[in-house]
Structure 1
Amino acid sequence: MRVIFDPTQISRPTAIALGNFDGVHVGHCRVIAPILPISLRNRNPNLTSTVVSFSPHPQEFFSQRTRSLLAPFDEKVALLKSLGVEQLVLLPFDAELAKLTAAEFIQKILIDSLQVELISVGFDFHFGQKRQGNISDLQNIWGDRLTVIPEQTMSFGDLEQPPVRISSSNIRTALAQGEIDLANSLLGRPYNLVGRVVQGKQLGRTIGFPTANLELPTQKCLPRDGVYAIQAMIKNPDAATQAPAQVLGVMNIGMRPTVDGDQRSVEVHLFDWQGDLYDQELSVNLIRFIRPERKFDSLDALKAQIQSDCQTARNYKILTR
């Protein structure tokens, strides 16, 4: 997949999905599906399958505050590539773009720059200055070449509960509350943390639970502080074979109050694993929230609780086969 920052490099004409697509969740995938190459075969195979997004996120531009993301840039690129998207066009969301009226956005961006033939958007998509542009404006030009995906919902848990809207904001809320099952269902895959293993204080080794300390992208949205059952992917466990390994374990996110931690950390303890992971990339899938972080009276009490957490996490392996 090509990632385009320079509009002169765009492969045209295009079939586009328009949106921010943070997280590339189930709803986003349904918006993107109509413009994938497999969908274009019977409509116009000469069009380039294109996702059009904004950098930075418009909310970040207007608030002038860094926004945490479900899928930071590299992760977003990998997810779109896995779907089969041929090019990602990132429009620089700056003062000039923000001032474009809906009509100007259509003419300058969609028609002149992208040469759009087919469009797919979500039902609530707005664009142009003060979000004045809407579905009707697109339909007036593209007609039946515009696909509008209706609001996407999902039944979850108790059947008596109303369906949950599939949205990035609801995924964020679920993560903040430790509702990993819900977040994973809305995403259509396990929520994932990818980071480099860095040197820590190695306190875990002293109580028999060595941990890998993850350095994550600064914009990555972290779930609730606490302990999680996880599955980690080690990309290069054996330099000779280059074979990746999937290993179960537990992860702690938080301040480590029992050992007077001074900053939030993400630490992973892997079951039945021995090896040097420093400077390697570790990919961690969240399986289940086990408990909130809390301060223990002693290291022995902490060790006993970690042993219990590990057994709980191992039991989830049975439940999730």
Structure 2
Amino acid sequence: MYPVRVSVTSEDDLTPTAIALGNFDGVHLGHQQVIQSLFSENFSGKCNSLHPSVVTFSPHPQEFFTGQRRALLTPLQEKEQYLHGLGIEQLILLPFNDEIAQLSPIDFVEQILVQRLGSRAISVGFDFGFGRGRSGTAEDLRAIAASFGIPVTIVPPYCLDNERVSSSAIREALSQGDVQRGRRLLGRPYCLTGIVQPGQQLGRELGFPTANLLLPLDKFLPHWGVYSVWVEGPMLSQPQVGVLNIGIRPTLGTPTLTAEVHLLDWQGDLYHQPLTLHLWEFLRPEQRFASLTDLKQQIARDCDRTRQLLTSLV
């Protein structure tokens, strides 16, 4: 779908490389500083003959050690899309297993970065840790790599309005429904991309037909509730304004978690088509209404508010 090349085995790697090394979940503004340093004047000339690459781990080390699935801000397809926009040629997924987890910092540099990846230039964030027990620091990486003639750029913290941009800060914001803060830290609206699946037609019965999205299982979901969104998809000739509900629809008695969007000014068949929802504003938490009439009136108010917010943006 996207022209970033994904490599999962050493035979697939394009070498030699200039690499940005880290987890990069979110590809937020701080991550972008690490990636863009590969194209800075410090590496000019040297990197012209190298393959600009992002190197990350699969699964996430935290998931490996805890045994618990980790929801991601940017599942693989999303990450590919954003990396392509930043000029990255390939995404190398290192299998995080017992073998890699037990490598010392020196062995990690020699066996993975030098021998496997043919690294000639490396960029990392200031808080990068590597090797057994994360015993290696970014400065350790610079010192070890220097013995192989590899320059390492250590990118300092990236801050906006005195707040450090980080994946954890974005997760915190989204967990609170604060998509405006999340948008500021990401440098773009937080997105949900999924395939439209047949639903129970309950929205249509209320007069507000919805598209029910099947989202990636590992996608991080924001606080349950109602959001103003703008919607893109191959069946839509232009972005559309929509109202998204994430939750279990307590008034309708359907305890299954759903993500469903009502497009304000579009009608048609979207079944089995991909849609991308750009979350713009959190309107209200999910709530139980005394009657379907009350629910319909609130949905109408949600649509009016969304139209006011987004009509000028799409």
Tell me the secondary structure at the aligned position of residue 265 of structure 2.
coil
User: Quick check: 2:126–2:157 contact (8 Å CA) kept in 1?
Assistant: yes
Q: Which moves more between the two structures, 134-143 or 191-200?
A: 134-143
Cα deviation digits, residues 224-259 of structure 1 (max 9, x gap): 01000000002124xxxxxx4200010000110001
Cα deviation digits, residues 10-47 of structure 1 (max 9, x gap): 12111110000001011001000022499854333111
- Give the corresponding residue for 1:302: 295
Letter in 2 for 1:198: Q
Superposition deviation, residue 195 in structure 1: 0.2
Q: Does 1:68 align with 2:71?
A: yes
- Give the corresponding residue for 1:93: 96
- In structure 1, which of residues 134, 145, 150 is the aligned counterpart of residue 151 of structure 2? 145
Letter in 2 for 1:177: Q
Superposition deviation, residue 319 in structure 1: 7.0
Name the CA distance, whole Å, in 1 between partners of 2:21 and 2:288: 46
Name the CA distance, whole Å, in 2 between partners of 1:245 and 1:57: 36
- Give the corresponding residue for 1:119: 122
- Give the corresponding residue for 2:211: 212
List runs of 5+ in structure 1 lacking aligned partners: 156-162, 238-243
Name the CA distance, whole Å, in 2 between partners of 1:153 and 1:319: 29
TM-score normalized with structure 2 length: 0.94
Cα–Cα, structure 1 residues 167 and 83, in superposed 2: closer, same or farther, change >3 Å? Answer: same
List runs of 5+ in structure 2 lacking aligned partners: none
- Give the corresponding residue for 1:268: 261
Cα deviation digits, residues 171-205 of structure 1 (max 9, x gap): 00000101111001111111000000001110111
- Give the corresponding residue for 1:8: 11
Name the CA distance, whole Å, in 2 between partners of 1:77 and 1:33: 16
TM-score normalized with structure 1 length: 0.92
- In structure 1, which of residues 34, 37, 62 is the aligned counterpart of residue 37 of structure 2? 34
Name the CA distance, whole Å, in 2 between partners of 1:265 and 1:190: 20
- Give the corresponding residue for 1:20: 23
Name the CA distance, whole Å, in 2 between partners of 1:298 and 1:6: 56
Superposition deviation, residue 206 in structure 1: 1.1
Superposition deviation, residue 318 in structure 1: 5.6
Superposition deviation, residue 9 in structure 1: 2.3
User: Quick check: 1:37–1:45 contact (8 Å CA) kept in 2?
Assistant: no
Superposition deviation, residue 6 in structure 1: 1.1
- Give the corresponding residue for 2:138: 135
Q: How many residues align?
A: 308
Superposition deviation, residue 93 in structure 1: 0.1
Cα deviation digits, residues 88-113 of structure 1 (max 9, x gap): 11100011110111111011001111
- Give the corresponding residue for 1:159: none
Identity %: 47
- In structure 2, which of residues 81, 86, 93 is the aligned counterpart of residue 83 of structure 1? 86
Letter in 1 for 2:242: G
User: Quick check: 1:52–1:91 contact (8 Å CA) kept in 2?
Assistant: yes
- Give the corresponding residue for 2:225: 226
Tell me the secondary structure at the aligned position of residue 137 of structure 1.
helix
User: Quick check: 2:226–2:282 contact (8 Å CA) kept in 1?
Assistant: yes
Letter in 1 for 2:57: F
User: Quick check: 1:33–1:39 contact (8 Å CA) kept in 2?
Assistant: no
Tell me the secondary structure at the aligned position of residue 49 of structure 2.
coil
Name the CA distance, whole Å, in 1 between partners of 2:168 and 2:175: 11
Cα–Cα, structure 1 residues 51 and 38, in superposed 2: closer, same or farther, change >3 Å? Answer: farther
Superposition deviation, residue 145 in structure 1: 1.8
Q: Does 1:57 align with 2:56?
A: no
Name the CA distance, whole Å, in 2 between partners of 1:127 and 1:227: 40
Cα–Cα, structure 1 residues 90 and 41, in superposed 2: closer, same or farther, change >3 Å? Answer: same
Letter in 2 for 1:153: C
Name the CA distance, whole Å, in 1 between partners of 2:292 and 2:96: 50
Tell me the secondary structure at the aligned position of residue 46 of structure 2.
coil
Tell me the secondary structure at the aligned position of residue 138 of structure 1.
helix
- Give the corresponding residue for 2:277: 284
Letter in 2 for 1:170: A
Matches within 5 A, 1:155-166: 155=161, 163-166=162-165
Q: Does 1:192 align with 2:191?
A: yes
Letter in 1 for 2:160: M
Name the CA distance, whole Å, in 1 between partners of 2:81 and 2:21: 18
Name the CA distance, whole Å, in 1 between partners of 2:295 and 2:68: 37
